Structure 1
Amino acid sequence: MQWFTIFKKEILEDWRNFKWIWVPLVFIVICIMDPLSTYYLPQIIDAVGGMPEGAVFEVPAVQPEQAIMMSLAELSMFGVLVIVAISMAVIAGERKSGVAELILVKPVSYFTYISAKWAAKGLLVFTSYLIGMLASWYYVNLLYGEITAGQFVSLFFFYLVWLIFVISLTIFYNTVVKIPGLVLTLSVVTIMGMSAINQIFGHHMSWFPNSISGHITEMLMVNKIPGALWAAASITIILSVVLLIASNFMLKTKEMAD
């Protein structure tokens, strides 16, 4: 009951802040932006004045698999920033204002408090991501060619594992510091650092969380789930669980110290 009360409170607060409206809309824009702009690029060029006389511009043919991966590429940048932004004050803001102390003074466990807020943000991200990717799938099938339902479901759930990791990482930093802006900075720097590690050592670490997108591309091309994708997804899930456990430890330590 305590868990559900905190979960419901978080959902209601996000509704009052219109997050259940603007976050899905932002995800739709992020997901359809590249596939649409790439397809209509010749018309866009003509609309802004066209090419210089004698110049020839040919748009390379884009396969459906490449088109839908454009959506994931944009989510990897802008979608992650949105997730971190909507999660950066979920605990840190309440710790800073003293609300967290009032809640935790009651017989509410630290893990109940953390996991309920994590689940609420996860539901918001899941819903927004689903709506955005369904819009992308529709336009990719309409403009580029068919992505089967099986391919879409596999792509959707494997990349969702990465987004859940991003939420877990941000929640963890919420328990480390009380300043939402610092949570944002630490989360983004960590993700950028992981991306740099993957670019340098990715060929030796096919299980690394940041390699999920690359493995999804391979999955779409060969129409088979690579073993490396299962490994990367499994490691990412384990890291998300570890981050939640570490969040519980950090919050308990910080609150007891205060």
Structure 2
Amino acid sequence: MSQWLIILNKEILEMGRNFKWIWFPISFILLGVSEPITTYYMPQILDSVGDLPEGAVIKFPTPSAPEVLFQSIAQYNTIGLLIIVLASMGLIAAERKSGVAELILVKPVSYFSYVTAKWAGAMLLLWVAYFLGFLASWYYVIILFEHVSFTVFFISFGVYGLWLSFALTVTVFFNTVFKSPGVVGFVSLATIIILNLVSGMLAHVLEWSPAQISDYTSTILTGGNMPDEAWGAIAVTAGCIVGLLALSVSVFRKKEHT
């Protein structure tokens, strides 16, 4: 356990030296607040930049507070996923490519400790950034629109966080398969995009797919309750995270022995 904690502490310090503890949360906060602010001030923005005839009036249907909060989640489902992959695509691959991983593993460091500690450090960064971003979004939604209950906020936060955790774990897995961070990033994004597309086209069949969590989060926010189908997706997503992490250790051990 002490070995695992040492690697975790090293990873946390390394992320600090690379300023990830600064730019990563800031990116998520900006994504979180941009949607409610833009939605609220959109008529004024169009009025100030649009070349409209004199006397023209712009009217938009005012979205509900839960809808605006879900639109913030939609930002995480696009730009947020891209940031996660870009920030973690060199997590293990970069050290493998430079030879640092071999130097660490020459010491009595287990493959399990190395991979899982790296994953835990990245996961800690993700959840801190995601919490701050989603909290900022919730705050601005309350200020500019109307109140969204803390219970709905907390449940949707936890459920959607599983999908982001799954995306991060996919990236960690490909870190153990490929040595090039660029290849890791490309394959990880391609995998996530394909899973989203397939799950969207076969939504009635793949109700348990991790990619469906985004839709279930929308239902939680707008309806205030957890749909029955969401439990299957949550269980499958959690199982995939554990399975991918175990597979990452196994693949990494084989790759380093060959």
Q: What is the CA distance between 1:222 and its match in structure 2? A: 2.4
Pair 1:213 & 2:214 matched: yes
Q: Does the 8 A contact of 1:45 with 1:51 survive in 2?
A: no
Equivalent residue, structure 1, for 2:108 = 107
Instruction: Please tell me the residue identity of whatever aligns with 1:193.
Output: I
- Which shows bigger deviation, 212-221 or 142-151? 212-221
Give the RMSD, CA atoms, in angstroms: 1.1
Return the alpha-carbon distance in structure 2 between the equivalents of residues 55 and 180 of structure 1. Answer: 52
Q: Does the 8 A contact of 2:47 with 2:58 survive in 1?
A: no
Structure 2 counterpart SS, 1:59? coil
Q: What is the CA distance between 1:32 and its match in structure 2? A: 1.3
- Which shows bigger deviation, 72-81 or 215-224? 215-224
Structure 1 counterpart SS, 2:136? helix
Q: What is the CA distance between 1:199 and its match in structure 2? A: 1.4
Return the alpha-carbon distance in structure 2 between the equivalents of residues 18 and 216 of structure 1. Answer: 31
Return the alpha-carbon distance in structure 1 between the equivalents of residues 202 and 54 of structure 2. Answer: 46
Pair 1:89 & 2:61 matched: no
Q: Does the 8 A contact of 2:208 with 2:236 survive in 1?
A: yes
Pair 1:253 & 2:248 matched: no
Return the alpha-carbon distance in structure 1 between the equivalents of residues 51 and 156 of structure 2. Answer: 37
Q: 1:60 to 1:50 in 2, by over 3 A?
A: farther
Map 1:1-258 → 2, pairs under 5 A: 1-49=2-50, 51-53=52-54, 55-257=56-258
Deviation per residue, 1:42-72 (Å, 9 max, x gap): 1111222452346443211200110000110
Q: Between Structure 1 and Structure 2, how many residues are aligned?
A: 257
TM-score (norm 2): 0.97
TM-score (norm 1): 0.97
Deviation per residue, 1:206-248 (Å, 9 max, x gap): 1111111111111222221111111111111100111111101
Return the alpha-carbon distance in structure 2 between the equivalents of residues 134 and 221 of structure 1. Answer: 17
Runs of 4 or more above 4 Å deviation: none
Q: Does the 8 A contact of 2:33 with 2:72 survive in 1?
A: yes
Return the alpha-carbon distance in structure 2 between the equivalents of residues 26 and 79 of structure 1. Answer: 8
Return the alpha-carbon distance in structure 1 between the equivalents of residues 200 and 103 of structure 2. Answer: 44
Q: 1:50 to 1:42 in 2, by over 3 A?
A: farther
Return the alpha-carbon distance in structure 1 between the equivalents of residues 52 and 232 of structure 2. Answer: 47
Instruction: Please tell me the residue identity of whatever aligns with 1:177.
Output: F
Instruction: Please tell me the residue identity of whatever aligns with 2:78.
Output: M
Return the alpha-carbon distance in structure 2 between the equivalents of residues 19 and 42 of structure 1. Answer: 35
Q: Does the 8 A contact of 2:70 with 2:221 survive in 1?
A: no
Q: Does the 8 A contact of 1:88 with 1:180 survive in 2?
A: yes
Q: Does the 8 A contact of 1:31 with 1:132 survive in 2?
A: yes
Q: What is the CA distance between 1:109 and its match in structure 2? A: 1.1
Deviation per residue, 1:66-121 (Å, 9 max, x gap): 00001100000011111111111010000000010111121111111000000000
| Gaps in structure 2 of 5+ consecutive residues | none
Return the alpha-carbon distance in structure 2 between the equivalents of residues 107 and 89 of structure 1. Answer: 23
Identity %, equivalent residues: 44
Return the alpha-carbon distance in structure 2 between the equivalents of residues 8 and 119 of structure 1. Answer: 10
